[in-house]
């Protein structure tokens, strides 16, 4: 399993898309942190809760973790390497499990990089206004939640990619789900007085874990997000298990 995991990491980091997404995480996190810290009202800067939200809103890792998680599976079908992969590792559940773990770890890495960039950019701006960044227990707790949310996004992407298998279809479908479908569904559910269902959707649940969503605790959001990861991984395995791949 260790050798298989290393092989998956090598596959991913030898693609140009991985480095492009990494640069995007750094650039967008830096720009968001600078913008959020610069336009904030001075009275809010000293509020530790506001500072935690500022950092949460700045880290751009979740979306790119989702996309890279999708790529980690769909690249096999796009380049026709899935046959070779399954010949080397006939137990298909191992391949999927390693790819899920790989995507989970990748989300952690992207989140840590995004956090480092956001803090490095926001801290000097806050200090310049006479309000140093309040680094305490709750701050580190929020950072851990951001990292876990990005990791779950990555694992969710791997399961979704394994289920869809078409790279273009999975990437477009994921983007539409995150930016369009859940927002439209939220409006519809609110109109039907069923807004509580909104919290069960993957984006809303993982946003709650990362501190972006009100009405749902971080723990509940993480549990629901994990449930979605398990669901998509199970569906992906059910499809791949007996699939004729030649």
On the question of pLDDT at 90 being above 90, the answer is no
How many Cβ atoms from other residues are within 10 Å of residue 52's Cβ?
A: 22
Are the C-beta atoms of residues 76 and 82 closer than 8 Å to each other? yes
Report how far residue 30's alpha carbon sits from residue 41's, in angstroms, rounded to the nearest whole number: 19
pLDDT (0 to 100) of residue 241: 84
pLDDT (0 to 100) of residue 224: 94
Q: Is residue 246 part of a domain?
A: no
Residue whose entry in the numeric block shows the structure tokens 């519809």: 188
pLDDT (0 to 100) of residue 246: 63
Torsion of CA 129, 134, 215, 203, to 10 degrees: 90
pLDDT (0 to 100) of residue 227: 96
Q: Return the sign of the alpha-carbon dihedral for residues 38, 23, 178, 201.
A: negative
On the question of pLDDT at 64 being above 70, the answer is yes
pLDDT (0 to 100) of residue 3: 63
Range of the domain at 169: 2-241
Which of the four pLDDT bands, split at 50, 70 and 90, describes residue 13?
low
The count of structural domains within the chain is: 1
pLDDT digits (tens, 9 = 90+) for 91-121: 788 888 888 999 999 999 999 999 999 999 9
- Of 84, 14, 71, nearest to 245 by C-alpha is 84
pLDDT digits (tens, 9 = 90+) for 132-142: 777 888 889 99
Q: Is residue 64 part of a domain?
A: yes
Instruction: Please state at what angle helix 92-128 crosses helix 2-13, rounded to 10 degrees.
Output: 60
The residues, ordered by sequence, that sit 6+ positions from 4 with a Cβ below 8 Å of its Cβ are: 89, 94, 95, 98
On the question of pLDDT at 193 being above 70, the answer is yes
**Rounded mean pLDDT, 159-185:** 91
Look up the pTM and report it.
0.90
Cα angle vertex 216, ends 215, 218, to 5°? 140
The pair of structure tokens assigned to 65 is 């973790």
Are the C-beta atoms of residues 65 and 107 closer than 8 Å to each other? yes
On the question of pLDDT at 1 being above 70, the answer is no
- Of 120, 105, 116, nearest to 150 by C-alpha is 105
Q: Is residue 170 part of a domain?
A: yes
């Amino acid at each position: 399993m260790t050798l298989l995991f290393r092989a998956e990491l090598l596959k991913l980091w030898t693609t140009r898309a991985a480095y492009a997404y990494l640069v995007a995480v750094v650039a967008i996190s830096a720009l968001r942190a600078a913008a959020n810290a610069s336009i904030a009202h001075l009275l809010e800067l000293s509020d530790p809760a506001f500072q935690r939200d500022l950092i949460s809103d700045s880290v751009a890792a979740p979306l790119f973790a989702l996309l890279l998680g999708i790529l980690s599976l769909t690249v096999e079908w796009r380049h026709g390497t899935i046959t070779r992969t399954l010949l080397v590792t006939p137990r298909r559940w191992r391949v999927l499990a390693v790819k899920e773990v790989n995507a989970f770890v990748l989300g952690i890495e992207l989140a840590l990089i995004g956090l480092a960039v956001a803090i490095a950019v926001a801290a000097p701006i806050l200090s310049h206004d006479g309000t140093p960044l309040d680094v305490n227990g709750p701050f580190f707790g929020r950072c851990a939640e951001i990292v876990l949310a990005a990791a779950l996004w990555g694992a969710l992407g791997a399961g979704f990619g394994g289920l869809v298998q078409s790279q273009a279809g999975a990437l477009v479908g994921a983007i539409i789900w995150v930016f369009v479908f859940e927002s439209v569904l939220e409006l519809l559910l609110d109109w039907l007085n069923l807004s509580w269902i909104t919290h069960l959707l993957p984006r809303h649940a993982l946003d709650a874990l990362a501190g972006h969503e009100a009405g749902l605790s971080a723990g509940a959001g993480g549990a629901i997000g994990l449930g979605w990861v398990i669901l998509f991984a199970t569906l992906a395995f059910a499809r791949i298990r007996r699939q004729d791949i030649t």
